[in-house]
A and B are shown apart, each in its own frame.
Chain A
Amino acid sequence: VTLRTRLEHLDTRSTRWLTAPEPNAAGRMGLFRIIYALFYLWYLATNPVETMRGYRVLDFNSIKLVEVLPTFSPVSLRLIQAGLVAALVLLALGYHTRIATGAVLVLGVVLEAISASIDLEHSTVLLVAFIPLLMLVDGHWGDTYSVDALRARSRGDAVVSPRDPSGERFVGARAIFVVLALLFASAGISKLLPSSTWFSHPDLIASLILELNVENVIEGLPANPTAGPIAETQVVHQSMRLGVVVLELSFLAALFSVTLRQLVIASALVFHSFNALLLGISFTPILIAYAPFVDWQGLLDRALPRRSPRPAPKHAAALAPIALIAALVAASMWYANDALEDVLTVGGALEWRTIWYLVLPLALGWLLVQLVAIGKGVRRATAGPLGMDSPP
């Protein structure tokens, strides 16, 4: 078998994997677009652009992209963020979705690169760079639940059903999961390298939990009641040391099974929730990378089961100026005062840590559902044909 044949085989298999049908793919991507835009607006509301104004002085990480960009004044930074807000509003409404996605990508990367030059650890590449880039290439998240779709219907173009399971509509989502898996794999592998202290430092997790607990209490966060008991119980903190690496590396394995993918995502959400709520460790923007793998369309159908297809609106053309006005108003408000930020963060109550109080019960429920489904699959497997899904 030549190298060329092997590469062709890999190409065919990866195409089949990327384009495999997914239930409700069209509707899920449309709803994901709205959730993404709202989540991004919330993220911006929790990260005041004013704290970036001294980034040329606070340049702790030399980011090449920031070095090649001009120096932005505080007013320019506010204008860039207002522009990003306008693009996100247009994206949420699905008006000129591809242009809005491109604008979100460019403006978001500029702002986040500046943020990363100050604090690399808490910068987010999935939210600002890879999700919009992959969605720009994929080009399908504006096909449903959008002004674009309504205008296309009123023109008599073919209507995309939200329940369309075509795999082509889910390519972007699967690509997001590959990027996520590669990043998690890099985290797991970095802990296995000889230069890492993860397995060589004695009682690493115990000391880390105690150290973080003291830091958090000084910073005004709640104390972690499990810190002492975990640190004093060798079997627990040593298992956690191993468990973290297993979870990080399991993302790669999850590429080969939908069942494992859903299980790993549910486990990761529980893991992130406990990290945020008990240890004060948060990588909150990662939440959005899991969102495409929730069947939002299925949930909507369960919540509103008796919806009949609506006719195309008679005045679909009027939606365009409405969308533009909404974007302009939101951008102006963002630039002028903190009113919108206050709405999005519920007066500051919904921030990087407290959002996990909402996520944790849902993640636990999802994990339970996945475990029950796997249990049923195993029972079926022992009784007859294998019920589990097969690798691509």
Chain B
Amino acid sequence: MSRSVLVVDDDQAIRETLCELLADDGYRAVGAANGREALELLRSGERPSIILLDLMMPVMDGFAFRTAQLADPALRAIPVAVITAMGQPSAASIDVDVVLSKPLRIEKVIELVERFCPPGG
């Protein structure tokens, strides 16, 4: 299994920045602009080590994505970390592994990704 990350965020600047910086650190990073795009990628075979998920997005938001992912036995096991600019309480209502608040430093992201990516994979 490769050290790969799926970045789901509607803000183009955030999405591209995260993908580039993760790539700099040797990860394979793939972006999706909303929940539906992310699901399509996963269903076409993409298997990231972790999904970084924004919550407020058009078309399909983070809550709906997470619900759909958990309902799919093939995708259920992929760990998800929410990265949101919303306040903590509403983020806590979603069943995920980690919740981080925006804005955040790159070290936090690297540290998080490393935790879920098998070393040397």
Question: Do A and B make up one complex?
Answer: no
